[in-house]
Amino acid sequence: MVESDKSVRQYIPLLLILLVYPYGIGLVAREFVADALVFVTGLVTLFLLYRQGYGDILVFRKPTWKIVRRVILAFLCKLCWAVIVYHFLSSTKNEEALDSWSYTGVQLFLYNLYLLVYGPICEELVFRGYMMRSLAPVSHLQLDVLCSACLFSLGHVLPTGWVLNDFLVYLGSGLIYAILFKKSATIYPVIILHIMWNSLMVL
């Protein structure tokens, strides 16, 4: 009974993180306030990773050609998925919202800092690092990959309103990120892939 209570309690921080980010933050009207909350959530997640014994995914390992090949392969998968989305699905509300913003000066710098640096880092810490390690007991069923991809997708869809098309678009990306993380057993390759992809989208 004690072990059962302990196993249930260990998921409470994960549930709280998911309630705040991205679903709760998505309700914040001021964009830069929301971005600041994302940064804070990333720091809290980092603390929880160490606190709950998941710090091994944050240990920097010397890059190997195997890891480099996996990142390149995952990037090519993202490109293929983008082609499929272009031909068979439509652009998402989230993408349209991003395209509609016009920033200059400091606002543009902060926007790019979020989109290209700490946004991807925080998302990977939450959806891949913390979530998938928390779901390690069911990883043999691939539920860690599926849950990570689904909640990652919902996090991009729900703030702008549920649309099946949008969910499928982000689900594909979430699966690619989740699989790369699981194969790498460290957070850095998937962070690099996420930053690379977001950088390509900005060009």
* 8 A C-beta contact, residue 25 and residue 38: yes
Structure tokens at 58: 């944050």
Note down the domain range covering 31.
Answer: 2-202
pLDDT value for 27: 55
140: amino acid identity, one letter: H
Contacts of 111 (CB under 8 A, 6+ apart): 101, 103
Burial track 93-121 (b if 16+ CB lie within 10 A, e otherwise):
bbeeeeeeeeeeeeeeeebeebbbebbbb
Domain count of the fold of the chain: 1
| Residues 124, 13: Cα–Cα separation, whole Å | 16
pTM listed for this prediction: 0.89
Asked if the bond preceding 137 is cis, omega within 30° of 0, the reply is no
pLDDT value for 31: 66
| Residues 119, 163: Cα–Cα separation, whole Å | 23
Spell out the per-residue pLDDT of the chain, length 203, in tens: 444 445 667 777 877 777 777 666 655 556 667 778 888 889 999 999 999 999 999 998 888 999 999 999 999 999 999 999 989 988 888 777 666 667 777 778 888 888 899 999 999 999 999 999 999 888 888 999 999 999 999 988 887 788 999 999 999 999 999 999 999 989 999 999 999 999 998 87
pLDDT value for 3: 46
